[in-house]
A = this chain, B = another copy of it.
Amino acid sequence: MNDSLCTSKIAVALVHAPVLNRQGERTTTALTTIDIHDFARSCAFYGVAPVYLVHPAAGMHRLVADIRDYWQHGAGAARNPGRAKVLQAVRMVHALQDVFSDADYQLWYTSATPAGRRMTDVPALGQMPGRHLIVFGTGSGLDVSALPRPNGWLSPITGDGMVRHLSVRAALAIYLDRLFRDRG
């Protein structure tokens, strides 16, 4: 494993618990397999690592291990060798707090509806010292009452109002593009 591929100034986390359901109650979501691939691939495209997948259930950790094994050693490795390389950046953790054993990250939370919070535009992260973790929630968003206090919140992506939010896959892609577009 080439470690230089697997850390960068910016890292990403996708949180499955604690998040909110549509009623605003605390819940845990299942891992969506396409998110594993799209998060790993979009992050690899922009040189962002690690990609933390936060899930408390051991079964979900085993699922990701199985998927990774298929692409590293199974039939997938022959068919699409690039995918194993991309998946190297994925790290499973049980809780968001576990990321601090890797680095002293500054946490940046994202929300489609961050009412009343002071916002930071994502390109500003590129100018700040230190290591930064951009945190996405599944379900109806992060349950901040049960998560560490973040360094700040990133400005939401705004649309036409017909739908409240993008898929988390689309939101990640847009934030990374905004972050790296002008680095030249």
| A residues adjacent to B (C-beta < 8 A) | 5, 34, 37-38, 41-42, 44-47, 82, 85-86, 157, 159-160, 162-167, 169-174, 177-178, 180
Contacts and interface: CB of A to CB of B under 8 A. Distances in A.
Contacts of A177: 157, 174, 177-178
A172 to B, nearest CB: 8
A23 B94 CA distance: 41
A163 B45 contact: yes
A41 B86 contact: no
Contact of A160 (B46, B157, B164, B172): B46
Contacts of A46: 159-160
B165 A45 contact: yes
A167 B47 contact: no
Contacts of A169: 38, 167, 169-170, 173
B162 A5 contact: yes
Residue among A5, A47, A172 with most chain B CB within 10 A: A47
A166 B44 CA distance: 9
B34 A159 contact: no
A38 B172 CA distance: 13
Contacts of A167: 37-38, 41-42, 169
B42 A162 contact: no
A5 B107 CA distance: 38
13 contacts: A38-B167, A41-B167, A42-B167, A44-B163, A45-B159, A45-B163, A45-B165, A45-B166, A47-B160, A86-B163, A170-B170, A170-B172, A177-B178
